[in-house]
Amino acid sequence: MKKGLLIILSGFSGSGKGTAVRKLLEKYPEDYILSVSATTRQPREGEVHGVHYFFCEEEEFREMIVTDSLLEYAGYVGHYYGTPRAFVETALEEGKDVILEIEIQGALKVKEKFPDAVLLFMTPPTVSELKARLTGRGTETEEVIAGRLARAIEEADGCEAYDYLIINDNIDECVEELHQLIRAEHKSMARNAETIERIRKELSEYQKGEMK
C-alpha cells in the first residue's frame, strides 16, 4: 500500500485553520486523519483521551522526550504539548494522510525528521480581515487585540520555508482547495518513482516479447 502524506498546517490565529481542518476531516473521513497531541495539562470537560489529546503525567512526557518518541514538543503556560511519533508513523503506513496542526517552529522540527512533509501556511486574505476575525466577537479590549496582532507577527516567522500559502477567503472553498492541493501532492514525481520504474520494466519486458 502506498504511504500517506504528512501534511502540516500552520497559520495565523484567526486564519480559520482549525475550522478548515475539522471540515476537511468531516468531508473526507476516508482520506485524512488528525494527529493527536500529547499534553501534560488536565483534560477539560468533554475532552477524551486519545481523541482530543493523549493526556499524560509530566514524568511520562519527559520519558517520551528522552526516547525520541515525539516529533516535536513545546512548553506553553506551564504545560508540555507534543506530537507522538508512533501515531503519525502508523497512520502513514496505513496509507492515511496525517494532518498536523502546529506552529511553525514545531513544523520545521518535524520537517527535519520527515523531509517529505508538506507544509501549508494559512492566512486570511488581508490584515483587515485578520483583524476583523480577531475582534469578531466584539468582546475584546484594544490591548488584547494589539497583543494578538503582535503574536500574529511572530506566527508568520519562518513561513517562507513552507511549501504553500493558503488564503482562506471562503471556508468551504478553502477546504476544497486544501483537498485538491493534497491530491496534487500525491502526484509528485518523487512519490511516484515506483510507478515509473514499473512502467519501464513492463515496457522492456514487452519489447523482449516476454509478455506476449
Q: How far is the CB of 19 from a second copy (least distance, A)?
A: 19
Show the cell assigned to 212: 506476449
Contact 86, 37 (CB under 8 A): no
How far lies 173's CA from each of 15, 169, 177, 181, 185, in Å?
Answer: 14, 8, 6, 12, 18
**Among candidate residues 154, 126, 172, 169, the one with its CA nearest the CA of residue 20:** 172
Task: For 32-186, list the strands marked E by DSSP.
Answer: 32-34, 37-39, 53-55, 70-76, 79-84, 97-101, 118-123, 164-167
Q: How far is the CB of 57 from a second copy (least distance, A)?
A: 39
* 13: helix, strand or coil: coil
Using CB under 8 A as the binding rule, whether residue 146 contacts a second copy is answered as: yes
By CB neighbour count within 10 A (0-12 exposed, 13-18 middle, 19+ buried), where does 191 fall? middle
Using CB under 8 A as the binding rule, whether residue 126 contacts a second copy is answered as: yes
d(CA 212, CA 33): 43
Using CB under 8 A as the binding rule, whether residue 105 contacts a second copy is answered as: no
Q: How far is the CB of 147 from a second copy (least distance, A)?
A: 10
How far lies 136's CA from each of 94, 145, 198, in Å?
Answer: 40, 10, 54
Using CB under 8 A as the binding rule, whether residue 170 contacts a second copy is answered as: no
Stretch that binds a second copy, among 29-37, 54-62, 83-91, 176-184 (CB under 8 A): 176-184
Contact with a second copy (CB under 8 A): which of 162, 169, 172, 175? Answer: 162
Using CB under 8 A as the binding rule, whether residue 25 contacts a second copy is answered as: no
Using CB under 8 A as the binding rule, whether residue 123 contacts a second copy is answered as: yes
Q: How far is the CB of 209 from a second copy (least distance, A)?
A: 9
Q: How far is the CB of 165 from a second copy (least distance, A)?
A: 4
Show the cell assigned to 158: 519562518
Using CB under 8 A as the binding rule, whether residue 174 contacts a second copy is answered as: no
d(CA 157, CA 120): 14
Q: How far is the CB of 73 from a second copy (least distance, A)?
A: 25
Using CB under 8 A as the binding rule, whether residue 144 contacts a second copy is answered as: no
* Binding region for a second copy (CB under 8 A): 121, 123, 126-128, 130-131, 146, 149-150, 152-153, 156, 159-167, 177, 180-181, 183-185, 187-189, 192-193, 195-196, 199-200, 202-204, 206-207, 211
